[in-house]
Homo-oligomer: A and B are copies of this chain.
Amino acid sequence: MLSAPSIQLLLDELERMPGVGAKSAQRIAYWLLNSERSTAERLAQAIVEVKDRVHFCPQCFNYAEGELCIICASSQRDRSTICVVAEPRDIPPIERTGAFEGLYHVLGGELSPLSGIGPDELRVSELMKRLGDDSVNEVILATNSNVEGETTASYLARLIRPLGVKVTRLASGLPVGGELEYADEVTLGRAIESRREL
Interface residues of A, Cβ cutoff 8 Å to B:
1-7, 9-10, 12-14, 16-20, 23-24, 26-33, 37, 39-54, 63-66, 69-70, 87-89, 91-92, 95-96, 182
Q: Is the CB of A28 within 8 A of B24?
A: no
A156 to B6, CA, bound (A): 33
Q: Is the CB of B96 within 8 A of A2?
A: yes
Q: Is the CB of B27 within 8 A of A50?
A: no
Q: Is the CB of A33 within 8 A of B88?
A: yes
Q: Is the CB of B50 within 8 A of A47?
A: no
Number of copies: 2
Known: A2-B91, A26-B92, A47-B32. A54 touches B7 (CB 8 A): yes
Contacts of A92 in B (CB 8 A): 2-3, 26
Q: Is the CB of A6 within 8 A of B49?
A: yes
A63 to B16, CA, bound (A): 23
The residue of chain B having its C-beta at the shortest distance from the C-beta of A64 within the complex is B4
Contacts of A28 in B (CB 8 A): 17-20
Question: A13: which of B17, B37, B42, B52 is its contact (CB, 8 Å)?
Answer: B42
